[in-house]
Structure 1
Amino acid sequence: MQVIRDGVALDYDVTGPDDGAPVVFANALGTTRAIWDQVIAGLPAGLRIIRYDMRGHGASDAPDGPYSMGQLVSDAEAVCDAAGARDAMFVGLSVGGMVAQGLAVKRPDLIRALVLSNTAAKIGNPKLWQDRIDIVHAKGLAALSDAVLQRWFARGFYGTPAMQPWQAMLESTPVAGYIGTCAAIAGTDFYTPTAGLRIPTLGIAGIDDGSTPPDLVRETLDLIPGSQFVLMRRVGHLACVEDPATYAAHLADFMKATGHV
């Protein structure tokens, strides 16, 4: 399915019963909604699962950038509205977690609970992101992929055959989408708005995450009173890929604790 926002087609899918508790998943930079495949298989039955590809990624359009975080948040809003999601649990990883924070502030009617996975209120700094943009402009994503993959995955997963599909996914990301999203991250600082949130929130961090280390994730969760935090071992930035069963178990526990299932 697709929804068009400001001329950009956003591709999404919905599975599960119409009256099921909605759960929305937002992907990371350089990935598609396929990162959630194995996690979804481990979740309780009866949920209404909504997944979409962020603009510039997967089956969604990849317009020329730069993108803004406001655009990415409005894209998520459009997907939720098109899918009829209300009182959803929103699960966002990396930039998807930034989108989750922004959407929870903008449209509290859409989100009743947050899962902020391997993310933060602010990630990196403008120079870091501009340097990355310059490399991709000059040499393409393949020149950057090994350094990214080392931050994404723990040593036990990095370099194995199981990593190859995720490397291919990263390297097939449209250049316009990748650098456009880098620009959105570079311009985002959600410390103040996130500190105003008062909804159930779970933070998930990977002990070997080289992109958003556990202390950075915890710092963001500490902004939200009553939030929970779990640290996954032997995984990096894409915790949902390296250990989907444990990741799904954390989501299921949080759903039960918040009455979402």
Structure 2
Amino acid sequence: MVGQLQIEVLGELNVRRDGQLLPLPQSKKTRALLGYLAVVGRPQRREHLCKLFWEVPDDPRASLRWSLYKIRQITNTHDVDRLTADHHSVLLIPQAIDLDFTNVASLRPGDLDTLDVEVLESLAAAFRGEFLEGLRLPRCPTFEAWRLYHRDLVLRSRIEILRRLVSRLWEYPERARFYAHAIESLRGDAASIDLRSEAPDASVSGSSRDVARGNASATANRAGQPGSELADASAEPKAGPTVGTPQARSQAIRFCRASDRVRVAYALCGRGPAIVRAAHWMSHLQYDWESPVWRHWIDALSEEMMLIRYDERGNGLSDWDVADFSFAAMVTDLESVVDAAGLERFTLLGVSQSCAVSVAYAVRHPERLSGLILYGGFVQGWRKRSPHDVATHEAMTTLIREGWGNSNPVFRHLFTTMFIPGASQEQMGWFDELQRITVSPDNACRLHEAFGEMDVSDLLSQVAVPTLVLHARRDAAVPFGSGREFATGIPGARFVDLDSANHILLGNEPAFETFIREVGRFVAETVQR
């Protein structure tokens, strides 16, 4: 149609009207704001945008007004207002633009198997580089976390498309080799994400085959084991430093499949005896890596140990389109990650609801654990507790359904205050955004319901591995008595109460130092046995 506006984010930000490239503002933040509004595709609060892009010493509202003025000159014409704004919110109307990201974001792995070669080649041609290339804003941490998440999503999709093309074009070696070389050229970009787990079973001659498989010739040949498609998963992390992190910090993000084919993302960092942190909801391997809420946990636990963490199904980089959120599925995901990582013996750390998952794993696989650590957990889910707890959590389920994904952060902020009442404004802002980025409202509701049904009361007496239980004394999210219930029910368990009101311990509080000291001592004692 006349006046059609095309916005390209699969590479450097480009805007075209009727095919003609338009000049963009020199301001990096203004261009980043335009890309953000185009990809998000829903109303954004002015206050949120100010916090996202402008620091407090600036005049955020004036900066936002100036940037919106510049963007209107690009997006709006005399007959079409694509960018709309009032005193409270801003919207770049998604139906009024043609965004290259849309087709990629809607893809699922199974979709690629149904598309013909011409469509796959068209999709491959849409990628011109890294997502919003050149728009890294290290002083805007929330935007950076958002950009990194979408960068990884785009990179995964791009390599999946290229792999399918190599697989489908094996009868045409020259065309297959072209796409195989494209995969090879992306290997450096994929340093922080191990994409080998989804390698196709193509038969391409010569070096192209290895490239098409993402070096799948190195895949561990463990037939019948969950996650067996993961290449060399037991090796030390070889990834380079993650973008935006100090040189000394690096993590390798990899993928495996649970028994029901749900793809689970996990990460390895550090060196030493292995410690696995069982997944809890609202996690994101990349976002947490930079977060002031979780970064100190990651750094402290990986300083003298190899830390393995993974995203709960339906969360973060793991698959979101999931049918089964049962307790049994959560235990299976833990088993799949442990097998994929090639761990023979390790320490298992449960946090919050993953404490129950960890207990179930410990009973099922005692021979693989050197020790079990439980922090901030509960033995029985909220539906198994008092009528007051049931009523409170049923109300919370309704609030999650209605308020989680909205632009208004009121509910998310209440949730944040319950989890980390001692947090700074920066930490609260990160955790507010964490809830929206890591899990959809529907998945959050389903997970919250699943947590309500948990009950490992009958398993506690069967735990036969050394166990350390820790709990914050004034934890508002999970009552202190829940921790004591683990300690009294598990034979020989040692209990440590922590002087804190935070469910997620903060890096600047003495309770976190106590937690790390006790964990380090426990691991040192148990791995020697």
1:69 and 2:327 are equivalent in the alignment:
yes
State the shift of 1:191 in Å.
0.5
Q: Which residue of 1 aligns with 2:372?
A: 114
Assess, with a 3 A threshold, how the Cα gap between structure 1 residues 240 and 2 changes in structure 2: closer, same or farther. farther
Please say if residues 349 and 373 of structure 2, whose CA atoms lie closer than 8 Å, have aligned partners that are also in contact: yes
Q: Which residue of 2 aligns with 1:97?
A: 355
More strand by share: 1
Q: Which residue of 2 aligns with 1:163?
A: 428
Assess, with a 3 A threshold, how the Cα gap between structure 1 residues 171 and 89 changes in structure 2: closer, same or farther. same
CA distance in 2, matches of 1:241, 1:53: 22
CA distance in 1, matches of 2:350, 2:506: 11
Alignment equivalent of 2:449, drawn from 183, 187, 199: 183
Q: Which residue of 2 aligns with 1:145?
A: 412
Please say if residues 135 and 143 of structure 1, whose CA atoms lie closer than 8 Å, have aligned partners that are also in contact: no
> Gaps spanning 5+ residues in structure 1: where?
none
State the shift of 1:143 in Å.
5.3
Deviations 1:4-43 (A, max 9, x none): 12221110112244xx421001243323352653123224
Secondary structure of the residue aligned to 1:67 is: coil
Higher Rg of the two aligned structures: 2
Q: Which residue of 2 aligns with 1:12?
A: 266
Deviations 1:56-102 (A, max 9, x none): 11111112456111000100110000001222111111112121112
CA distance in 2, matches of 1:63, 1:109: 33
CA distance in 2, matches of 1:241, 1:197: 31
Q: Which residue of 1 aligns with 2:208?
A: none
Q: Which residue of 1 aligns with 2:497?
A: 231
1:25 and 2:277 are equivalent in the alignment:
yes
CA distance in 1, matches of 2:508, 2:278: 17
CA distance in 1, matches of 2:506, 2:521: 15
State the shift of 1:129 in Å.
4.2
Please say if residues 262 and 319 of structure 2, whose CA atoms lie closer than 8 Å, have aligned partners that are also in contact: yes
Counterpart of 1:56, as a letter, is G
Q: Which residue of 1 aligns with 2:49?
A: none
Deviations 1:109-147 (A, max 9, x none): 332311111001113226454433332223335453233
CA distance in 1, matches of 2:325, 2:394: 13
Counterpart of 1:139, as a letter, is G
Counterpart of 2:379, as a letter, is A
Secondary structure of the residue aligned to 1:3 is: strand
Alignment equivalent of 1:131, drawn from 377, 385, 395: 395
Secondary structure of the residue aligned to 1:60 is: coil
CA distance in 2, matches of 1:187, 1:26: 18
Assess, with a 3 A threshold, how the Cα gap between structure 1 residues 64 and 84 changes in structure 2: closer, same or farther. closer
CA distance in 2, matches of 1:146, 1:257: 40
Please tell me the root mean square deviation across aligned C-alpha atoms, in Å: 2.4
Please say if residues 90 and 115 of structure 1, whose CA atoms lie closer than 8 Å, have aligned partners that are also in contact: yes
State the shift of 1:242 in Å.
6.4
Q: Which residue of 2 aligns with 1:203?
A: 469
Secondary structure of the residue aligned to 1:205 is: strand
State the shift of 1:256 in Å.
2.1
Assess, with a 3 A threshold, how the Cα gap between structure 1 residues 73 and 164 changes in structure 2: closer, same or farther. same
Counterpart of 1:144, as a letter, is F
Secondary structure of the residue aligned to 1:51 is: strand
User: Relative to structure 2, which stretch is displaced further, 185-194 or 128-137?
Assistant: 128-137
CA distance in 2, matches of 1:54, 1:260: 31
Assess, with a 3 A threshold, how the Cα gap between structure 1 residues 161 and 14 changes in structure 2: closer, same or farther. closer
Alignment equivalent of 2:518, drawn from 250, 255, 258: 250
Secondary structure of the residue aligned to 2:430 is: helix
User: Relative to structure 2, which stretch is displaced further, 43-52 or 5-14?
Assistant: 43-52
State the shift of 1:44 in Å.
7.1
TM-score by length of 1: 0.87
Assess, with a 3 A threshold, how the Cα gap between structure 1 residues 240 and 250 changes in structure 2: closer, same or farther. farther
Counterpart of 2:397, as a letter, is I
TM-score by length of 2: 0.45
Please say if residues 366 and 465 of structure 2, whose CA atoms lie closer than 8 Å, have aligned partners that are also in contact: no
Counterpart of 1:9, as a letter, is R
Please say if residues 269 and 302 of structure 2, whose CA atoms lie closer than 8 Å, have aligned partners that are also in contact: no
Please say if residues 232 and 239 of structure 1, whose CA atoms lie closer than 8 Å, have aligned partners that are also in contact: no
Higher RCO structure (Cα 8 Å, ≥6 apart): 1
Deviations 1:185-211 (A, max 9, x none): 111110111221121111111122112
Structure 1 runs of 4+ aligned residues shifted over 3 Å read 43-46, 126-131, 141-144, 240-246
Equivalenced residue count is 257
> Gaps spanning 5+ residues in structure 2: where?
1-253, 385-389
1:2 and 2:260 are equivalent in the alignment:
no
What percent identity do the matched residue pairs reach? 22
